[in-house]
């Protein structure tokens, strides 16, 4: 083969490969943008998914599993944090009781998200949404338990992040239902 022909074929192959890679990357970004545009906090949603390397090549169902995993991890992390706080024996009794209730509520949220994960693998989109809504309600009950004390800020930001992660799951599963 002549050098000019080889160069032409190499250039054509390289150009097509780069175009294909760019369109795949663009499609993945578009999916994350499409999902996150329907959430309450698009920037936070995009940041969460872009920080997870698996989400860049995920389809909608896979993105839903990633979102569930992230929400479950946050619930587990918050539960562990609450257990650590409960080790403090100098807590105000009202705050101690609120944290104890939160511990139970986050264990419930973890269970609900486990159920949602099982349902997701079985294509039970409606059941996923029901379980995730129950997990959000558990976190909200935790937060409400602090309303009569000054300790509400202890878990406020963690609860907000958890709710955001759960809302991402809800949006994805709503989109899956619409398919």
Q: Which of 47, 71, 48, 67 is nearest to 59 (CA)?
A: 67
- Summarize the confidence of residues 32-59 as an average pLDDT: 93
Burial class (CB in 10 A: 0-12, 13-18, 19+), 2: exposed
Domain ranges of the chain: 31-178
CB 161 within 8 A of CB 74: yes
Q: Tell whether the model's pLDDT for residue 22 goes beyond 50.
A: no
Q: Tell whether the model's pLDDT for residue 87 goes beyond 50.
A: yes
- What CA–CA distances, in Å, run from 105 to 12, 51, 144, 159? 59, 28, 11, 12
For tokens 């993945």, the residue is: 28
Q: Tell whether the model's pLDDT for residue 73 goes beyond 60.
A: yes
pLDDT of residue 122: 81
pLDDT of residue 123: 75
pLDDT of residue 119: 85
pLDDT of residue 126: 79
pLDDT of residue 1: 52
Top-confidence residue, 25 or 157: 157
- Summarize the confidence of residues 99-118 as an average pLDDT: 96
- Summarize the confidence of residues 43-50 as an average pLDDT: 94
Q: Tell whether the model's pLDDT for residue 117 goes beyond 70.
A: yes
Kindly state the greatest CA–CA separation across the chain.
86
pLDDT of residue 177: 87
Confidence of residue 120 (pLDDT cuts 50, 70, 90): confident
pLDDT for 136-157, tens place per residue? 999 999 999 887 677 778 899 9
The CATH-assigned architecture of domain 31-178 is Up-down Bundle (1.20)
What percent of the chain is modeled with pLDDT above 90?
Answer: 68
Q: Tell whether the model's pLDDT for residue 125 goes beyond 90.
A: no
Mean pLDDT (the chain, rounded): 84
């Amino acid at each position: 083969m002549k050098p000019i022909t080889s160069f032409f074929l190499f250039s054509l192959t390289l150009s097509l490969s780069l175009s294909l890679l760019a369109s795949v990357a663009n499609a993945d970004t578009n999916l994350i943008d499409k999902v996150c545009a329907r959430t309450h906090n698009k920037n936070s949603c995009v940041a969460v998914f872009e920080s997870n390397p698996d989400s860049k090549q995920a389809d909608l169902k896979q993105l839903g599993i990633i979102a569930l995993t992230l929400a479950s991890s946050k619930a587990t992390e918050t539960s562990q944090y609450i257990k650590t706080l409960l080790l403090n024996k100098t807590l105000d009794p009202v705050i101690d009781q609120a944290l104890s209730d939160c511990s139970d509520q986050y264990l419930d949220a973890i269970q609900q998200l486990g159920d949602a994960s099982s349902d997701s693998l079985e294509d039970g989109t409606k059941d996923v949404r029901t379980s995730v809504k129950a997990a959000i309600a558990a976190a909200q009950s935790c937060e409400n338990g602090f309303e009569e004390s000054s300790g509400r800020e202890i878990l406020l930001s963690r609860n907000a992040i958890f709710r955001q992660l759960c809302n991402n799951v809800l949006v994805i599963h709503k989109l899956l239902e619409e398919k």
